[in-house]
Amino acid sequence: MRADKQTYISAVPFLLMLLSSMLMGCNAISNLVRRDAAPGKRVEAANDTIPRIKELECHDIIEQARKEQWDSIQLTNYGQPYSFSYPNTLADSIVEYAKLFIGTPYVYAGKGPNKFDCSGFTAFVFRHFGYELRASAKGQLDDGWKVLTKPDELRPGDLVFYGGRGKTREIGHVGIVVSNDPARHRFSFIHASVRLGVTISFSTESYYYPRYITACRILPE
């Protein structure tokens, strides 16, 4: 009986070690976070650390904020550098959305999202915010409720019109104002250019300066 008791006591450390291993295995399995097993959804691996999981959750919140067009969001629970501000005006939102397509190639009659011509790009961007623009650059001038004769009056979100490659005084190109600097008498605009695709240019550039024709305002005051 004493020998059996001694054998039992000597086996205790082994049993404790085995139990510890089993608990560690269960813990690893429980750390496998499956947000959604559907195709295209993120599945987190068991070796993701808590900071990494928090980072991914933070990114989810930011993406949701962009989709819902929230004005702003404070991520205080996640600490630095997790902070985010969404543009707080419709014009800012339009400009930021347009910037997502920088580098998208130019293709004649391209309507997006993987290829654009100039009027296809402006129509695609404004449609995302509920505004239907006509198919041509010249037609989009008539979509505005106000024609702007002075470049210094331009605001982000306004449409600017330029002469085409051949007929420089006939509307053949359109872009969206990104910013305006009246003190320097220049503005920047985002557009689908033949050579660079979607890009941001300045009104003072040698190619665009002599081709500028007019502008219009689509958005309400």
**29 & 121 share domain:** no
Among residues 139, 153, 154, the alpha carbon closest in space to that of 189 is found at 154
pLDDT band at residue 63 under the 50/70/90 scheme: low
**73 & 118 share domain:** no
Q: Give residue 166's pLDDT.
A: 76
Q: Based on the structure, what is the number of domains in the chain?
A: 2
Sign of the Cα pseudo-torsion (170, 174, 118, 186, in order): positive
**58 & 96 share domain:** no
Whether 136 shows a pLDDT value over 60: the answer reads yes
pLDDT band at residue 168 under the 50/70/90 scheme: confident
**23 & 105 share domain:** no
**19 & 120 share domain:** no
Domain that holds residue 116: 90-217
Last residue of a domain, which of 85, 103, 137?
A: 85
Q: Give residue 37's pLDDT.
A: 41
pLDDT band at residue 62 under the 50/70/90 scheme: low
| Predicted TM-score (pTM) of this structure | 0.63
pLDDT digits (tens, 9 = 90+) for 74-112: 444 444 444 444 557 999 999 999 999 999 999 999 999
Last residue of a domain, which of 53, 85, 117?
A: 85
Last residue of a domain, which of 25, 60, 85?
A: 85
In this structure, are residues 160 and 177 in contact, taking their beta carbons and an 8 Å threshold? Answer: yes
Give start and end residues of each alpha helix (H) in 69-136: 90-99, 118-127
Among residues 142, 113, 145, 107, the alpha carbon closest in space to that of 127 is found at 113
**53 & 79 share domain:** yes
